[in-house]
């Protein structure tokens, strides 16, 4: 236990202990200033990594949140007479609130548009800080003095320790958060936002929460920044800092607390690197060396295209050569940042820590902790009555895409406990029908009732919440997550701890429970012994089964399977039939879209046949098979596979 802790956390404990000991050992105000900045930028970059690393969004607003937090803390002290902690709390809350406000509209946008929204926010906040002179002092700046802590004035070492303690708290809290259901949701939504919603997790709300949290850390760092320099200037939080921060996160390595730490060190050291010719040459020489080693390795192992290996070498070569030619490297700093950013993005996309972590993982193999025994299936997937009452009813459902009448007036009712087959030739509207039921598309018209209540429309998330789960015709797994995590993300009713407990690391019990529950479902689909494999590394058949297990984690009343047998080899088809049987025994109602007529005959209690978006036959499998329209439309053309 202790050994495990030290193996995993030893480096962290050691690093923080060493950092804390520095002021005791050396009395060098300059070095202390750099270390204080390191702690502050560490908090800032950990916050930025939540959006850039975990949510996978290009966030250009973190420098602005640093500035807003700095002014919020500064003004709390100068105008309102707040103490140190209240002022820091205000700074963090300003980050949280404005971050949330920015995220609400901005995160409805995708990719480059989101980046632009954060860029506009930065411009707006910079202008406001500059122009609202009556409040901020404008370009003249704002002077403040560091408030005392519990009546004691904080000298430089004391303030440094305060920053370090806060960094340690942020570090621990974020690690707890990111290894909880929250972090799992962040990673899931990056791999498949659609499936995240369909599993009832809520892509949008998690993105907004993540962004607000990252911005709150930006605000907190800003507060510390204000008390560190005790003089604020609106121009400090502009374009240049924004680029440096991105460089820090990308170079250090995304999705990594250590990466943020390495990035922060780089940012702190940059001014020195640029102003000292000797240091610059050492640094750019090292950069060239890394680019050469990484590039040659990649070329030999063919893990990257030649361009990816060569471009960083050229860029770093330019840096070394340029450093010898130009008179003052500081004047060229923007070009230098650009070259570095380019090299990292192209040549070392996983960042320095990502690269180092791969090597370290090889040296120190720490086995993951043992998994608990699987929970009883009865507890995870309670037996449902399956009493043949009407569970789902569609009335004259239509969904048009422009002129294409994909679903054109479908009425059908699904009885509780049935396996209801939905068949028809390609393009007959089967997927569209279930996409409307599950909320991926809103219907053009028509009624949808679940247990007699109107089903929410056009929202995967809301439909998932009322007890409908689904799989996708084109797999939508969370490829980077383990098999176990894929199921855990979707688990319903296990995660109850409020956020503060999660941050304090007091939610481990429910994590354990979630593992046991997820294992029971993996056992049901025959994947228990692959719990730790990444989903993207599973065989195709196993991936299909995993999607079913994940959907079952929702404990659904209605489970929709869209062509689960598509692309499966024969032995896997029989496994699938067996799995569906087991689910049926639990009383779960299913809609099964299926091409293989023998599978349909074997499994389905009732069958609805679609053609051209309309129902052409309904009844038992034997009945519809004999129906002349079906023979003509489906069996005739598809060859009764």
Q: Which H/E stretch holds residue 407?
A: strand 404-415
* Residue 530 contact, options Mg ion, ligand ADP, none, Cβ 5-8 Å cut-off depending on partner type: none
Residues found near Mg ion in the complex (CB under 5 A): 431, 473
Instruction: Pull the structure tokens for residue 351.
Output: 């960042």
* Residue 284 contact, options ligand ADP, Mg ion, none, Cβ 5-8 Å cut-off depending on partner type: none
Identity of the residue, 122 or 435, whose beta carbon is nearer to Mg ion in the bound complex: 435
* Residue 424 contact, options ligand ADP, Mg ion, none, Cβ 5-8 Å cut-off depending on partner type: ligand ADP
* Residue 215 contact, options Mg ion, ligand ADP, none, Cβ 5-8 Å cut-off depending on partner type: none
CB of 432 to Mg ion, least distance (A): 8
CB of 474 to Mg ion, least distance (A): 9
Identity of the residue, 453 or 474, whose beta carbon is nearer to ligand ADP in the bound complex: 474
Instruction: Pull the structure tokens for residue 524.
Output: 């049901």
Identity of the residue, 125 or 428, whose beta carbon is nearer to ligand ADP in the bound complex: 428
Q: How far is Cα 188 from Cα 202, in angstroms, rounded to an integer?
A: 11
Query: What is the end-to-end Cα distance of the chain in Å, rounded?
Result: 56
Identity of the residue, 399 or 575, whose beta carbon is nearer to ligand ADP in the bound complex: 399
Whether 217 and 46 have beta carbons less than 8 Å apart is answered as yes
282-287 — which CB contacts under 8 Å span 24+ positions?
Answer: 284/316, 284/319, 284/320, 284/323, 285/320, 287/316, 287/319, 287/320, 287/340, 287/343
Identity of the residue, 389 or 426, whose beta carbon is nearer to ligand ADP in the bound complex: 426
Identity of the residue, 557 or 611, whose beta carbon is nearer to ligand ADP in the bound complex: 611
Classify residue 261 by burial, with Cβ atoms within 10 Å: 0-12, 13-18, 19+: buried
CB of 10 to Mg ion, least distance (A): 52
* Residue 233 contact, options Mg ion, ligand ADP, none, Cβ 5-8 Å cut-off depending on partner type: none
CB of 424 to ligand ADP, least distance (A): 6
Q: How far is Cα 210 from Cα 195, in angstroms, rounded to an integer?
A: 18
Neighbours of 442 (CB within 10 A): 12
CB of 429 to ligand ADP, least distance (A): 5
* Residue 349 contact, options ligand ADP, Mg ion, none, Cβ 5-8 Å cut-off depending on partner type: none
* Residue 432 contact, options ligand ADP, Mg ion, none, Cβ 5-8 Å cut-off depending on partner type: ligand ADP
CB of 593 to ligand ADP, least distance (A): 7
Classify residue 3 by burial, with Cβ atoms within 10 Å: 0-12, 13-18, 19+: exposed
Contacts (Cβ under 8 Å, ≥6 apart) of 55: 186, 189, 190, 207, 210, 211
Q: φ, ψ for residue 405 (rounded to 5)?
A: -90, 80
Residues found near ligand ADP in the complex (CB under 6 A): 401, 404, 406, 424, 426-432
Identity of the residue, 512 or 614, whose beta carbon is nearer to ligand ADP in the bound complex: 614
Strand 558-562, strand 468-470: pairing: parallel
Closest residue to bound Mg ion by CB? 431
CB of 357 to ligand ADP, least distance (A): 40
* Residue 57 contact, options ligand ADP, Mg ion, none, Cβ 5-8 Å cut-off depending on partner type: none
CB of 639 to Mg ion, least distance (A): 18
Q: How far is Cα 413 from Cα 608, in angstroms, rounded to an integer?
A: 9
Identity of the residue, 361 or 404, whose beta carbon is nearer to ligand ADP in the bound complex: 404
Residue-wise burial string across 443-452, b where 16 or more C-beta atoms lie within 10 A, e elsewhere: beebebebee
Rounding to the nearest 10 degrees, give the CA dihedral for residues 210, 216, 221, 226: 160
């Amino acid at each position: 236990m202790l050994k495990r802790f030290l193996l995993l956390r030893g480096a962290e404990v050691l690093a923080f202990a060493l950092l804390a000991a520095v002021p005791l050992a050396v009395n060098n105000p300059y070095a202390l200033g750099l270390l204080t900045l390191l702690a502050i930028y560490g908090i800032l970059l950990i916050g930025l990594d939540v959006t850039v690393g975990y949510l996978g969004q290009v966030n250009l607003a973190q420098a602005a949140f640093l500035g807003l937090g700095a002014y919020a803390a500064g003004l709390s002290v100068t105008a309102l007479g707040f103490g140190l902690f209240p002022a820091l709390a205000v700074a963090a809350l300003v980050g949280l609130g404005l971050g949330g406000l920015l995220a609400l509209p901005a995160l409805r946008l995708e990719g480059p548009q989101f980046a632009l929204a954060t860029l506009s926010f930065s411009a707006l906040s910079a202008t406001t800080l500059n122009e609202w002179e009556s409040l901020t002092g404008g370009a003249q700046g704002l002077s403040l003095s560091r408030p005392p802590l519990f009546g004691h004035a904080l000298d430089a070492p004391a303030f440094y320790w305060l920053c370090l303690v806060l960094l340690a708290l942020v570090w621990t809290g974020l690690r707890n958060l990111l290894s909880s259901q929250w972090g799992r949701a962040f990673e899931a939504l990056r791999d498949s936002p659609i499936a995240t919603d369909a599993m009832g997790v809520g892509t949008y709300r998690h993105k907004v929460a993540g962004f607000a949290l990252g911005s709150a850390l930006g605000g907190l760092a800003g507060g510390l920044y204000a008390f560190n320099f005790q003089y604020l200037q609106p121009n400090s939080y502009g374009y240049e800092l924004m680029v440096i921060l991105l460089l820090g996160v990308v170079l250090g390595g995304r999705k990594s607390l250590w990466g943020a730490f390495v990035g922060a060190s780089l940012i702190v050291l940059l001014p020195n690197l640029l102003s000292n010719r000797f240091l610059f040459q050492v640094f750019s020489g090292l950069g060239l060396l890394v680019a050469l080693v990484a590039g040659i390795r990649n070329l030999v192992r063919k893990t990257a295209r030649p361009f990816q290996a060569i471009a960083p070498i050229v860029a770093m070569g330019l840096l070394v050569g340029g450093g010898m030619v130009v008179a003052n490297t500081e004047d060229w700093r923007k070009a230098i940042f650009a070259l570095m950013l380019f090299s990292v993005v192209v040549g070392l996309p996983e960042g320095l820590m990502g690269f180092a972590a791969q090597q370290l993982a090889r040296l120190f193999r720490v086995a993951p902790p043992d998994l608990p025994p699987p929970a009883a299936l009865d507890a995870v997937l309670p037996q449902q009555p399956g009493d043949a009452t009407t569970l789902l009813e569609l009335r004259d459902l239509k969904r048009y895409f422009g002129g294409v009448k994909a679903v054109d007036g479908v009425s059908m009712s699904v009885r509780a406990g049935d396996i209801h087959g939905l068949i028809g030739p390609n393009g007959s509207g089967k997927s569209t029908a279930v996409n409307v039921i599950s909320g991926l598309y809103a219907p053009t018209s028509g009624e949808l009732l679940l247990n007699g209540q109107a089903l929410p429309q056009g929202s995967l998330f809301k439909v998932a919440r009322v007890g409908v789960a689904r799989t996708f015709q084109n797999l939508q797994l969370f490829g980077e997550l383990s098999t176990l995590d894929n199921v855990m993300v979707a688990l319903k009713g296990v995660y109850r701890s409020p956020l503060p407990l999660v941050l304090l690391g007091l939610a481990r019990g429910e994590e354990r429970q979630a593992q046991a529950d997820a294992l029971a479902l993996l056992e049901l689909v025959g994947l228990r012994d692959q719990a730790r494999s990444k989903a993207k590394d599973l065989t195709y058949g196993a991936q299909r089964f995993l999607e079913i297990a994940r959907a079952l984690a929702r404990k659904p009343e209605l489970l929709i399977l869209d062509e689960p047998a598509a692309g499966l080899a024969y032995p896997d088809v029989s496994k699938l039939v067996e799995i569906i049987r087991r689910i049926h025994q639990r009383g779960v109602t299913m809609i099964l879209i299926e091409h293989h007529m023998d599978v349909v005959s074997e499994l389905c209690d009732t069958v609805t046949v679609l053609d051209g978006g309309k129902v052409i036959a309904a009844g038992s499998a034997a009945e519809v098979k004999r129906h002349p329209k079906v023979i003509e439309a489906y069996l005739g053309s598809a060859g009764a596979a």
